[in-house]
Amino acid sequence: MRKIFQGLLAASAITLLASAPAKADVIQPLIDGADWTVFYFGDTVFFPDFQDLSGNTLDFTFTLAVPEILRITDGYNDGDEFAVTINGVTSATSAGVFTGDNIFDNWDSVFTDASIGALYSHASYLLGPGSYTVTGVVTTSPFGAGAAAIKLGGVSVPVPEPAVWTMMTIGFGGLGGMLRRSRRKTMTAALA
């Protein structure tokens, strides 16, 4: 029992140290908690990469100290779809529906309104602490060119508060005390 208690106590201490509050250190152009960063693309054949206004290919690079949510969405004209690569792993955004509509830069509505989210291609990624490089290409575009947006943070990821860790540590201490007391009673009964 003692080894189990020591293991639980060690695990709590490691978890407490690993979850020390720290803000993400983000290198431009993607800023944690900032508004949406708009990117463009020329077409799906010759210039499908995410680009800035000058046509330079974008690589979003940042380092996170705490978990954050990365979101990407179409929005100027619906129907575009993307392949997003995060640290070499590629995944597709949801399927877009071409209606000829746009959301006029109301990027958040794609994630908060199900009827709008059903039309516009989008994806969310929960990223843990670490360094990231995000790139992407357009895989489908009814207009052949367009724009979309990407955002880091701005959506809270639950991280236990220091008071929660204190209560957990007190709880583990109480559990250890109960186990020790129980063990002493067992030993006293065995000796008697």
Segment 42-85, tens digit of pLDDT: 877 888 888 887 888 888 888 888 899 999 998 777 788 899 99
Other CB atoms within 10 Å distance of the CB of residue 26: 21
Long-range contacts formed by 19-23: CB under 8 A, 24+ apart:
19/159, 19/160, 19/165, 21/66, 21/159, 21/162, 22/65, 22/66, 23/65, 23/66
pLDDT band at 40 (very low <50, low <70, confident <90, very high): confident
Select from 68, 86, 65, 69 the least CA-distant residue to 129. Answer: 65
Residue 78 near residue 70, CB atoms below 8 Å: no
Does the pLDDT of residue 165 top 70, yes or no? no
**Structure confidence by residue, pLDDT tens digits, 7-21:** 544 444 444 334 433
Q: What is the pLDDT of residue 125?
A: 93
Class assignment of domain 22-152? mainly beta
| Side-chain half-sphere exposure of 124, counting CA atoms within 13 A | 15
Rounded CA separation 8/4 (Å): 6
Select from 39, 24, 42, 35 the least CA-distant residue to 132. Answer: 24
Q: What is the pLDDT of residue 123?
A: 93
Copy the structure tokens of residue 188.
């006293």
Say which residues have a Cβ less than 8 Å from residue 93's Cβ, sequence separation at least 6: 72, 73, 74, 81, 82, 83, 84, 121, 122, 123
Say which residues have a Cβ less than 8 Å from residue 60's Cβ, sequence separation at least 6: 29, 30, 37, 132, 133, 134, 135, 150
pLDDT band at 134 (very low <50, low <70, confident <90, very high): very high
pTM: 0.62
Percent of the chain past pLDDT 90, that is, above it, reads 14
